[in-house]
């Protein structure tokens, strides 16, 4: 489906993201993004319906309720596109961004990125988008080859070596077979730390400093801690 040109009065939803709870609470990073988006919409005569935001890593577009709400609004026709201040606020993954571009082109809505300048409704924007989609496809194929090779190597290694193997191969190698469950005392400790005011990131740093393994034998991240707290 063709994406309509971004004419005056087009309805957009602004998408904001910061990567840590501290940034989310301070609001400083979010406010700078809001200002940039409002300024561009005022300049172009676009109608800014609202903002949606996430406090999450940009490594993947998964697990982001704010972005999911934006995409649902675009798919339903409530909005004609999304606008974000910087590309890394939307995605730091070429593969994930390629998927977003493909979805936007398939459903007929627009993506506007202010830095670097990208607008799918313009010929130049579509050209850049096409290149990014091709790069994303290439990266998916390369990652697939790496995972195949890494899994073959994982069969010859102990579960405790998987974190090192993941770093060597540049992919996240999971244990083969049923994963170990996290000990109940570790789960309870994580929930106590969170209840006492520690952030996800702070808890992850403490567990890594104490060499407490995850259920997969890898390192802790804020997203890993968040899953434990929410389950």
11-18: strand order across its sheet: 47-55, 11-18, 81-86, 110-115, 118-119
For residue 25, what are its two tokens? Answer: 């609470």
Cα 50 to Cα 13, 81, 127, distances in angstroms? 5, 12, 28
Concatenating the DSSP letter of every residue in 121-132 gives: TSHHHHHHHHHH
Count of C-beta atoms within a 10 Å radius of residue 114: 18
Q: Which of 19, 91, 93, 201 is catalytic?
A: 19
166 is catalytic: no
Residue from 192, 167, 182 nearest 224 by CA? 182
Place of tokens 């398939």: 106
Residue 118's closest CA among 104, 110, 36, 133? 110
For 81, phi then psi, to 5°, come to 170, 175
The token pair that represents 228 in the structure block: 């434990």
Query: Residue 55's Cα: distance from chain center in Å?
Result: 10
Instruction: Quickly count: other Cβ atoms within 10 Å of residue 117's Cβ.
Output: 12
| Rounded Cα–Cα distance for residues 10 and 14 (Å) | 13
Catalytic residues: 19
């Amino acid at each position: 489906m063709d994406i309509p040109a971004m004419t005056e009065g087009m309805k957009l939803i602004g998408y904001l993201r910061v990567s840590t709870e501290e940034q989310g609470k301070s609001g400083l990073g979010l406010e700078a993004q809001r200002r940039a988006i409002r300024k561009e919409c005022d300049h172009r005569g676009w109608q800014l319906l609202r903002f949606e935001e996430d406090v999450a890593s940009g490594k993947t577009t998964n697990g982001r309720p704010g972005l999911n709400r934006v995409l649902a609004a675009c798919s339903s026709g409530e909005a004609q596109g999304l606008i974000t201040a910087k590309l890394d606020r939307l995605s730091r993954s070429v593969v994930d961004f390629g998927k977003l571009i493909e979805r936007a082109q398939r459903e007929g809505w627009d993506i506007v990125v202010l830095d670097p300048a990208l607008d799918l409704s313009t010929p130049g924007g579509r050209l850049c988008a096409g290149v990014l989609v091709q790069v994303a496809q290439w990266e998916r194929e390369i990652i697939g080859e790496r995972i195949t090779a890494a899994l073959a190597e994982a069969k010859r290694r102990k579960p405790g070596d998987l974190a090192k193997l993941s770093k060597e191969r540049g992919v996240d190698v999971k244990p083969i077979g049923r994963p170990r469950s996290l000990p109940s005392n570790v789960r309870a400790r994580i929930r106590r730390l969170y209840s006492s005011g520690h952030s996800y990131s702070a808890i992850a740093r403490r567990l890594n400093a104490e060499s407490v393994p995850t259920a997969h034998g890898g390192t802790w991240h804020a997203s890993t801690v968040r899953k434990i707290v929410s389950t």
